[in-house]
Homo-oligomer: A and B are copies of this chain.
Amino acid sequence: MIIPEYNDVLAAYERIKSYIHETPVLSSNNINSISDAELYFKCENFQKVGAFKFRGAMNAMLTISEKYPDQLKKGVATHSSGNHAQALALAARMMGVKAIIVMPETSPKVKVEAVKGYDAEIVFCKPTLIAREEALNKVVEEHGCTFIHPYNDPRIIAGQGTAALELTNRINDLDYVIAPVGGGGLLSGTLLAIGGNSSRTKVIAAEPSGADDAYRSLKEGRIIPSVDPKTIADGLLTSLGELTYEIIRNRVDSIVRVSEDNVIRAMKLIFERMKIVVEPSAATTLAAIFENPEIFKGKKCGLILSGGNVDLERLPW
């Protein structure tokens, strides 16, 4: 297992910076006053494809292209119904590489259309983990293409860490950085970026109480799979991978479990006061502050707003 380090995040940033958006860091006096803390929101909802996932996908594609250019000739593949699918599809298109995305046949039409919009080929499968993996294996076998895992991959992790790198390049002396945790790619990258950059900053993870497998994994000292998770934060349903587990367990300050009510309250407050569209997964970071106001009182905190891909027909309030 190759564990990426701070230098890999720096190298990823040099590699991808001309392809990504440097997303803004926004603040809200009103939300600061409500939360009694000094908050800096890193707005990955403004990233290409509307989520941080593009950073990791682009870093993976460029790294392969540098080291093993021949590998890309037969294309890349992944399974995802979410932001990673769009991210890989766009990164592949930008490099003139074919992307094949395995998606459950139950995926919302809007997500299927989004992936098609980036010219990826879609292979549908039954909506189970086994069917997904089988379909992916078949694609890889038939086409000889390269599988890019959504998070359990050092190149993906290093790429995701560049969001926190940009944040700390802009805002000094943060007491805390809060990132959501699902599969752990963003959280792992954030831990690498912060660990190297400014060691006095603590990294806290935000995880929905109804999908708290990462919390339980750290508590029990082994990866607990996410079984039947229940949360509106649809980006945070997956289990940790071996690599993300290894990075997270050694470095994260704590994992704060957040209620659905606090996620919804945080999400609505971000819409109302900051005038930006975020997905529920992003709002878990502010929800973590609502859960434990005493920890963050008067503190300077960076919050990674992971993305803004939300179904506007079904806002949760």
List, in ascending order, chain B residues with CB within 8 A of A271's CB.
277, 312
Taking a contact as CB atoms under 8 Å apart, the answer to whether B315 and A275 are in contact is no
**How close is A87's CB to chain B, nearest CB, in angstroms?**
15
The residue of chain B having its C-beta at the shortest distance from the C-beta of A267 within the complex is B312
Q: Which chain A residues (258-278) contact chain B, with CB distance < 8 Å?
A: 268, 271-272, 275-278
Taking a contact as CB atoms under 8 Å apart, the answer to whether B275 and A46 are in contact is yes
List, in ascending order, chain B residues with CB within 8 A of A46's CB.
275
How many protomers of this protein does the assembly include? 2
Max count, chain B CB within 10 A of own CB: residue among A268, A276, A278: A276
Taking a contact as CB atoms under 8 Å apart, the answer to whether A272 and B312 are in contact is yes
Taking a contact as CB atoms under 8 Å apart, the answer to whether B276 and A275 are in contact is yes
List, in ascending order, chain B residues with CB within 8 A of A278's CB.
275
Q: Is A160 an interface residue (CB 8 A)?
A: no
**How close is A119's CB to chain B, nearest CB, in angstroms?**
14
List, in ascending order, chain B residues with CB within 8 A of A308's CB.
275
Q: Is A45 an interface residue (CB 8 A)?
A: yes
**How close is A101's CB to chain B, nearest CB, in angstroms?**
19
Q: Is A50 an interface residue (CB 8 A)?
A: yes
**How close is A116's CB to chain B, nearest CB, in angstroms?**
14
Taking a contact as CB atoms under 8 Å apart, the answer to whether A50 and B275 are in contact is yes
A46 to B24, CA, bound (A): 13
Q: Which chain A residues (22-80) contact chain B, with CB distance < 8 Å?
A: 24, 45-46, 50
Taking a contact as CB atoms under 8 Å apart, the answer to whether B275 and A45 are in contact is yes
Q: Is A141 an interface residue (CB 8 A)?
A: no
List, in ascending order, chain B residues with CB within 8 A of A317's CB.
312-313
List, in ascending order, chain B residues with CB within 8 A of A313's CB.
317
A292 to B37, CA, bound (A): 47
List, in ascending order, chain B residues with CB within 8 A of A276's CB.
275-277
Max count, chain B CB within 10 A of own CB: residue among A272, A275, A308: A275
**How close is A22's CB to chain B, nearest CB, in angstroms?**
13
**How close is A26's CB to chain B, nearest CB, in angstroms?**
8
Q: Which chain A residues (295-317) contact chain B, with CB distance < 8 Å?
A: 308, 312-313, 315, 317
Can you give 14 A-B contacts (C-beta < 8 A)?
A: A24-B24, A45-B275, A46-B275, A50-B275, A268-B312, A271-B312, A272-B277, A272-B312, A275-B276, A275-B277, A275-B278, A275-B308, A312-B315, A313-B317
Binding site for B on A (CB under 8 A): 24, 45-46, 50, 268, 271-272, 275-278, 308, 312-313, 315, 317
Given contacts A50-B275, A268-B312, A276-B277, 12 further A-B contacts (CB under 8 A): A24-B24, A45-B275, A46-B275, A271-B277, A272-B277, A272-B312, A275-B277, A275-B278, A276-B276, A277-B277, A312-B315, A313-B317
A-B CB proximity, top 10 nearest: A275-B308, A275-B277, A45-B275, A271-B277, A271-B312, A276-B276, A46-B275, A275-B276, A50-B275, A272-B312
